Amino acid sequence: MRAGVITGVGGALPEQTLTNADLESMMDTSDQWIVERTGIRERRVGGVTSALAVEAGGKALAAAGVDPADIGLLILATTTPDRTVPATSASVSEELGMRCGAFDVNAACAGWVYALVAAQGFVATGVDKVLVIGADTLSRFTDYTDRGTAILFSDGAGASVVEGREGREGSLGLLGWDLGCDGSAESILYCDYGGLIKMEGREVFRRAVRVMVDSSKRSLEMAGVTAHDVDLVIPHQANIRIIESANQRLGIPMEKSSVIIDRIGNSSSATIPLALEAAIAQGRLHDGDVVLFTGFGAGMTWASAVVRWGQT
Ligand code: UT7
């Protein structure tokens, strides 16, 4: 069996910054309320999903030192594709110069972790190198007259190259994972064709903490480690209070979390790889570290993965 290890990571953000002060001028809200209730100070908006995915994917390939032509599969997690048909991964693979299978995954904000787990499956069955991208442009579907959602959502992309390593299954790369979906909760967060995002914020919050904690516990158990063994949590950046509550219930101190929500907001499937990119840039990841990825999203979906960091 082969382990899939992350060998390169890259991120992309649109240029336009939407600050809390900007939102104050657009609706009845305040910087103080937004910071206290969400942890967000500013967010990036105005991107195109495929373009952000191409930029992030290109950076991840460069960081891994991998030629696009050597990638054996592209998995793009997005809930905001450029078009209904074809899949956005088709445009991304063309722009990056790939000649391999490519498909989209829509598991909302949990999408990148779904794609990471899928990548491990492909690596185990013989694909050498998989490019896993999370890219979303939620600002296109945000109602800027609704202060309950407009303060949260943003655009961005994050990507990682996953490569196979012989004989390291169970000791390197993905050690445990958990994917889930409760379709009975679809009415609390959705966007119809041609419409804008509708959300019951308080209910999403309540369920988010529960599913992140339960899913993380299942992944840790499968990995044969405990919350105490976790060196770094890379959570979906939806609300700082959700991250704090989940960490508290798992018994993991906040210092062990990668948090960048203050400057990026919630860009759905992009937030986890972007928080991973930030952690790498800050020198927070070392060979042998136990990393817990965990997220939730519309569906309601959730996904967690426990990874032993390192390449050999
Ligand atoms: O990727 C998944 C995406 N979604 C999420 O993760 C969302 C999860 N939920 C949340 O993040 C939070 O529920 C929100 C940030 C959306 C809302 O925060 P909250 O602490 O749950 O506020 P609330 O909805 O309970 O509202 C409390 C008060 C209300 O006023 P009253 O009725 O107490 O007078 C709201 O009208 O805050 C008011 N309010 C605001 N005030 C200023 C709601 N939004 C705002 C706002 N600015 N932007």
247 is an active site residue: no
Q: What are 245-293's pLDDT values in tens digits?
A: 999 999 999 999 999 999 999 999 999 999 999 999 999 999 999 999 9
286 is catalytic: no
Which fold is adopted by the domain 3-165?
Peroxisomal Thiolase; Chain A, domain 1 (3.40.47)
| pLDDT tens digits, 254-264 | 999 999 999 99
Is residue 174 within 8 Å of 120, Cβ to Cβ?
A: yes
What is the assigned CATH class of domain 173-308? alpha beta
Probe ligand 1: pick from 27, 34, 37, max atoms within 8 Å of CB? 37
> To test the ligand 1 pocket, which listed residue (202, 210, 266, 302) has its Cβ within 8 A of the most ligand atoms?
202
CA 135 to chain centre: 8
Six-digit token pair at 140?
Answer: 């296109």
pLDDT for residue 27: 97
Count CB atoms within 10 A of the CB of residue 141.
Answer: 18
Q: For residue 195, how far is the Cα from the chain centroid?
A: 23
Residue extents of the structural domains in the chain: 3-165, 173-308
Nearest-CA residue for ligand 1 atom 48 is 147
Q: Do domains 3-165 and 173-308 have the same CATH topology?
A: yes
171 has pLDDT over 90: no
The reply to whether 181 belongs to the active site is no
Q: Tens digit of pLDDT for each residue in 72-119?
A: 999 999 999 999 999 999 999 999 999 999 999 999 999 999 999 999
Give the ranges where the chain is alpha helix by DSSP (H). 20-26, 31-38, 49-64, 88-96, 111-124, 147-150, 201-223, 240-250, 261-264, 271-281
CA contacts within 13 A on the Cβ side of 126? 0
Is residue 169's pLDDT more than 80? no
Alpha carbon nearest to ligand 1 atom 47, residue: 29
Specify the pTM: 0.98
Tens digits of per-residue pLDDT, 18-66?
A: 999 999 999 999 999 999 999 999 999 999 999 999 999 999 999 999 9
Output the CA 189–ligand 1 centroid distance in Å: 14
